[in-house]
Structure 1
Amino acid sequence: MIPNASFIGKETRETNQGMFSRFLKSESAAATIILAVLLLGLVFTMVSIVRLEYVPEWKCAAEQDHMYEIWNDFQELKIRIDMLSRLMESSSYPANDFSITVPFRMGKGDIPVFEPSRSDGKLEVNKERCVMIITLYNSTNEVMKFYNFSCGGITCYLQNKQYPDQFFRYENGALILSDGASSVMRQPPIFTIENETIDGSNSNSNSYTVNIRAVQLSGKADSVSSNTITPLELTGLSSNQVYDSSENENTNLKAFNLTIATKYPDAWISYLNETAKNAGLKYDTDYEIEKRDPDCVYFKFIHTDDKNLDRLCINESVIEAALRVGGSSLSSEDFGSQESGEGDDTSESEEDTSENENTMKLNQWYCFETVSGTNVDLSKLKDYDSKSNFLTQKSGKLSDYSSNNAFEHNLNNQLESTFGFNSFTEFESQPNSVTILMVYQCNLNSDPYMTFAGNKLDKTLQKGTGNNWYLYKQDISAASINDPSDLKFYLNIDKKGEGKKYINIDYLAVRPN
């Protein structure tokens, strides 16, 4: 018998059991880790599937809902402006200007947990040009009067992650939807053509009444980038009747044309064309409509023997639109915090510099800064032949004048434009007169219609031939000129159908004296 054999066997069994127990524990830990890894992999896989398959669709739907919300804000904007226009026409309008605030929900479209980022939006006021010119003609197709309205507008740009980007635009009473390439009018302005048959329904002569309301948004050009609610304040300044042919017993009004300078010509062309057709007008016979240059829409009501323009009524509403970000009197509880893309703090020295830059001095020539109507390149109207001393000459033919950078216009298309200023706010001192000067060459068979600062210019352009350059120069009394915004030059030359008719302009400027 081996001594202590039972003890050795017992110790061996205990050792084996300990090793086996540790092995089982280590195997259990490894299994737990593997299970955890598999579970995490499953979770990540499910999250990835959700993010790839479902989140884009949810994001697209959320951004689409946000687009509908912004569109509802623009509809509210139009309702408020229309309400202010009507209220200003009534006798109950308060003596002090009345203001209304419209909130725009700029940021949304987020998906909690999976996609918390919001769409970014940019709201602009009077950053894009919109100008409407209404020209009145008599029975011999001569210009009687014209009216120019700087309408301005409000634009919202949204940058989405999934849903296609779209632009919303309010201008001159219309709500427009655009994708950047094309545009459609969702809500129309106040432009109506009503047809009433004269002497009963069996008569072949029709009488038409046309109503046009111009909505001018005043206030400084401003913009804000935000992903929260942004307030826009509207203040009604004035609303009045500009023209009514029924109140003029001696009127010889027979036709009119409407020119709109806009970045959304497709929307305006479609709307004006549909309005004319619904009134029973025939294209090319009763009216013309076309897109001139990329950003100009031309509509003309044509005079015919069996059609009469019985009445034309033009109204104007002036509304001040201002972004109230940072300086708004509205509390943060109403609209939340704002993220402005424009700085609100301006030092005193910066304000002084800006004031000097915005002051127009006397006895200096200034080239125009803005133009409406036909697509005129203003840069070509700012230089001239430096060898010529025409600035001190009188109107007439210029000797030895040459130019390689003139604005050229073929009069197969009508030239109708209004030139003006937008950066000057005041004169150095009130001028006694203003001089307008233009260097040109032209081949015309009729006189153009021109006005400056509301005054009809009597002098006509020299109808030269060949390469001769001419100077047009005229002094106008400054009695009706209060600030530089009144310095507007209107030029209208009808299209010519016989031979080569043209006008080239090399230099165009004004001088307050």
Structure 2
Amino acid sequence: MKRLRRIREDESGVASTVGTIMALLVFLTFISLIVNQYVPVWMKDSEASHMGGAFGQFGTFKGSIDLQILAAQMAQDAGVDYIPITSFTPVTLGVDGVPIFTSPTTGLLTSLSTKGTFTTQLTYSIRGRATQVRESSTGEIVLDVFNRYYLHQAIVYENGGVLRAQNDGQSMRADPTFGVSVVNDTLRIAMTHVGLFGNGSVEGSSTEGIHSKLIGVDRQEYTQVLSDVWINGTTPYGVAWVSFFNRTLADAFKIDSGVFVGGCPTYCFSPSYFGTRIQTLSIVTPYYTLTADWKDPKRAYDIVVQIHNDPNNSIPLVMPITKVQVQHAFVNIAIAERGTEVSI
């Protein structure tokens, strides 16, 4: 029987094997640190910075529209023809990702000419005859950014204002043209409707832009107002609009927020919630009434602004409305590449 030979013990390769394993562990730990710690912090800061930059770009777009309206007004006042110009505002849609570790954050820039409907309604006397007026506008531009590390937010241009909306709230960040002034115990109201024409969209993380051309301005002035002044709207951002109207009107009528504490029925602030969303919002004062009601079929709020009028000067606290100025601007819009839907 052949005798088995004992295998000679040799530990000379153990050190190199253990060293390789340790090096791999250090490398994997470093990669894990990058993926789980560095990349989320970097992307969150980048997405937050991008939202701030996008808001600034929408502010620039609003300024461009306002300047075009001003130029048209000056031409009209001077009695000369207004020559329309085309303005371009760049908008960065999203955030570039970190190669290998994470993909880009994309955004969707959309122009919707049938959304964001607003109307101003009143009845005034012309040559002794009661005449109803209804001025309206539609259109909104939305940058919806699908942030994964920062809050999911949207920046919106609607009826001359710039709004910021996210899951837990919305606010008016750049005010539209709306003013109420008290002169000798009478009210004067001024508002601008901005109608946007042209649909289009673009998605990605690159820098695209918005082409805009003001094609006309119409300004009307109404005196001898017989009715209350109503401003109605249908918009997903109704809470922000009601907050803006309340802030503007409260400043005009010198209403302090403290009067709403235990002030019903004269002063009432009544919100109701469905989950985290405000379902209805009602603000009542002797001077005005504001409401916002969420409508599921529309996926939007119906808002109503009622500014009370006392043409006979017989109701306590309520003032007569002596002048209402309504300006209507008509703007053609194209997103990214110039479209053929409207003239740009």
Per the normalisation by structure 1, the TM-score is: 0.52
Structure 1 contact 138–255 (Cα < 8 Å) conserved: no
The superposition leaves residues 210-267 of structure 1 with CA deviations (integer Å, 9 ceiling, x where unpaired) of: 1101111112x222212211121011101121x2125xxxx34453111111111101
Q: Does 1:307 align with 2:319?
A: yes
Structure 2 contact 179–189 (Cα < 8 Å) conserved: yes
Q: How does 1:3-82 map to 2 (within 5 A)?
A: 27=12, 30-82=14-66
How far off is 1:168 after superposition? 1.1
Q: 1:46 to 1:127 in 2, by over 3 A?
A: farther
How far off is 1:184 after superposition? 1.1
Size of the aligned set, in residue pairs, is: 291
- Greater Rg over alpha carbons, structure: 1
Q: How does 1:313-352 map to 2 (within 5 A)?
A: 313-325=325-337
Gaps of 5+ in 2: 1-7, 256-283, 296-300
Paired amino acid for 1:300: Q
**In structure 2, which of residues 173, 188, 192 is the aligned counterpart of residue 209 of structure 1?**
188
Q: Secondary structure at 1:272's aligned position in 2?
A: helix
- Alignment correspondent of 1:174: 161
Q: Does 1:189 align with 2:201?
A: no
- Alignment correspondent of 2:238: 265
**In structure 2, which of residues 286, 290, 304 is the aligned counterpart of residue 298 of structure 1?**
304
- Alignment correspondent of 2:149: 162
- Alignment correspondent of 1:289: 290
Q: 1:152 to 1:178 in 2, by over 3 A?
A: same
Paired amino acid for 2:41: E
- Alignment correspondent of 1:245: 222
Distance in 2 between the 1:297 and 1:303 partners?
19
The superposition leaves residues 376-428 of structure 1 with CA deviations (integer Å, 9 ceiling, x where unpaired) of: xxxxxxxxxxxxxxxxxxxxxxxxxxxxxxxxxxxxxxxxxxxxxxxxx9xxx
- Alignment correspondent of 1:280: 253
How far off is 1:150 after superposition? 2.7
The superposition leaves residues 416-452 of structure 1 with CA deviations (integer Å, 9 ceiling, x where unpaired) of: xxxxxxxxx9xxxxxxxxxxxxxxxxxxxxxxxxxxx
Q: 1:151 to 1:281 in 2, by over 3 A?
A: farther
Structure 2 contact 122–225 (Cα < 8 Å) conserved: no
- Alignment correspondent of 2:270: none
Paired amino acid for 1:105: T
Structure 2 contact 191–327 (Cα < 8 Å) conserved: yes
Q: Secondary structure at 2:139's aligned position in 1?
A: coil
- Alignment correspondent of 2:120: 134
- Cα RMSD over matched residues? 2.9
Structure 1 contact 102–231 (Cα < 8 Å) conserved: yes
The superposition leaves residues 323-353 of structure 1 with CA deviations (integer Å, 9 ceiling, x where unpaired) of: 133x58xxxxxxxxxxxxxxx9xxxxxxxxx
Distance in 2 between the 1:260 and 1:276 partners?
17
How far off is 1:157 after superposition? 0.7
How far off is 1:54 after superposition? 2.9
How far off is 1:51 after superposition? 2.0
How far off is 1:186 after superposition? 0.9
How far off is 1:50 after superposition? 3.0
Q: 1:95 to 1:287 in 2, by over 3 A?
A: closer
Distance in 2 between the 1:138 and 1:89 partners?
25
Q: 1:163 to 1:307 in 2, by over 3 A?
A: same
Structure 2 contact 117–136 (Cα < 8 Å) conserved: yes
Distance in 2 between the 1:313 and 1:61 partners?
44
**In structure 1, which of residues 256, 259, 270 is the aligned counterpart of residue 229 of structure 2?**
256
- Alignment correspondent of 2:269: none
Q: Secondary structure at 1:290's aligned position in 2?
A: strand
Q: 1:160 to 1:128 in 2, by over 3 A?
A: farther
Distance in 2 between the 1:181 and 1:46 partners?
36
Distance in 1 between the 2:306 and 2:19 partners?
79
Gaps of 5+ in 1: 1-19, 199-205, 329-343, 345-424, 426-513
Structure 1 contact 255–303 (Cα < 8 Å) conserved: yes
How far off is 1:128 after superposition? 5.7
Structure 2 contact 172–244 (Cα < 8 Å) conserved: yes
- Alignment correspondent of 1:119: 105
How far off is 1:311 after superposition? 1.3
Distance in 2 between the 1:143 and 1:181 partners?
45
Q: How does 1:375-414 map to 2 (within 5 A)?
A: none
- Alignment correspondent of 2:271: none
Structure 2 contact 72–216 (Cα < 8 Å) conserved: yes
Percent of residue pairs bearing the same amino acid type: 19
Higher relative contact order (CA 8 A, sep 6+): 2
Distance in 2 between the 1:149 and 1:254 partners?
18
Paired amino acid for 2:212: L
**In structure 1, which of residues 123, 136, 150 is the aligned counterpart of residue 137 of structure 2?**
150
